[in-house]
Amino acid sequence: MREIVYLVHTSLDGCVEGPNGEFDWAFMGPELSEHSLELTANSGEFAYGRKVWDMMSSYWPDALTTADDPHDIAFAPVWHQTPKIVFSRTLEKADWNTRVVGGDLTEAVTALKAEPGGNVLLMGGGELAAALTAEGLIDEYQVFVHPVVLGGAKRPFAEGTARLGLELVESRVFDGRIVLLRYRRA
């Protein structure tokens, strides 16, 4: 059975973006980049909500030729090659090896988890993560805490997310500044 792994970068004050939607603060040093590339290379599929998909699909298709960041250049081929899924009630189709799933979220994710292949890596998307958490569908949470205070309003889980007990299975420091907190459902 495939698992859903939620990967999210947050600031020290628990924000996933700055007050104006900025995501220019997530530092991808060599250690974190290597870990991220291992994690993504071992995933069977990437999953996104509609808002994160719009951001990813506006950047990664051309990143191999437009990026100057070593992490982005290394990740671009992985993004292209890895199958992707977008959960959306409004998007009808998507390019770049991507399928769109609408309808009942619990049914869709239960079916997705039953498919053969590697784990599904859910990247960002507080609203989707909250909905999946409420249904008990996320198996592992990988929270990367960056040393910045953003003062934004958007958190890794939408407001109203139900209380959830988790078990810490790993904590680790990358590049002397980013802390990974890896949890599994208790």
Span 52-76, pLDDT tens digits? 999 899 999 999 899 999 999 999 9
* pLDDT at residue 157, as a whole number: 80
Residue-wise pLDDT tens digits, 112-139:
999 999 999 999 778 899 889 989 999 9
Q: Is residue 8 part of a domain?
A: yes
Q: Are 54 and 186 in contact (CB under 8 A)?
A: no
Closest by CA to 179, choosing from 139, 138, 148, is 148
Residue 104, token pair as written in the block: 């009942």
Q: Is residue 181 part of a domain?
A: no
Q: Is residue 28 part of a domain?
A: no
State which residues form the domain around 85: 1-18+41-153
* pLDDT at residue 125, as a whole number: 76
160-168 long-range contacts (CB < 8 A, ≥24 apart) are 160/130, 161/130, 161/133, 161/134, 162/133, 162/134, 164/133, 166/141
Q: Is residue 108 part of a domain?
A: yes
Q: Is residue 173 part of a domain?
A: no
Q: Is residue 114 part of a domain?
A: yes
Determine the average pLDDT of the residues in 86-96: 93
Residue 164, token pair as written in the block: 């959830």
* 186 has a pLDDT exceeding 80: yes
* 161 has a pLDDT exceeding 90: no
Closest by CA to 133, choosing from 159, 170, 102, 114, is 159
* pLDDT at residue 126, as a whole number: 81
Between CA 133 and CA 69 the distance in angstroms is 33
* pLDDT at residue 81, as a whole number: 95
Q: Is residue 122 part of a domain?
A: yes
Between CA 56 and CA 31 the distance in angstroms is 22
Which residues face 50 on adjacent strands?
A: none
Please give the tally of structural domains in the chain: 1
Determine the average pLDDT of the residues in 7-19: 94
Helix residue ranges, H only, 88-161? 105-114, 126-134
- The residue behind tokens 């998307």 is 125
Residue-wise pLDDT tens digits, 35-56:
999 999 889 999 999 989 998 9
- CATH number, domain with residue 108: 3.40.430.10
- Beta strands 166-174 and 140-146: pairing type? unpaired
Q: Are 36 and 75 in contact (CB under 8 A)?
A: yes
Q: Is residue 168 part of a domain?
A: no
* pLDDT at residue 162, as a whole number: 73
Closest by CA to 91, choosing from 80, 101, 83, is 101
pTM exceeds cut of 0.75: yes
- pLDDT band at residue 163, thresholds of 50, 70 and 90? confident
Between CA 159 and CA 179 the distance in angstroms is 24
* pLDDT at residue 53, as a whole number: 94
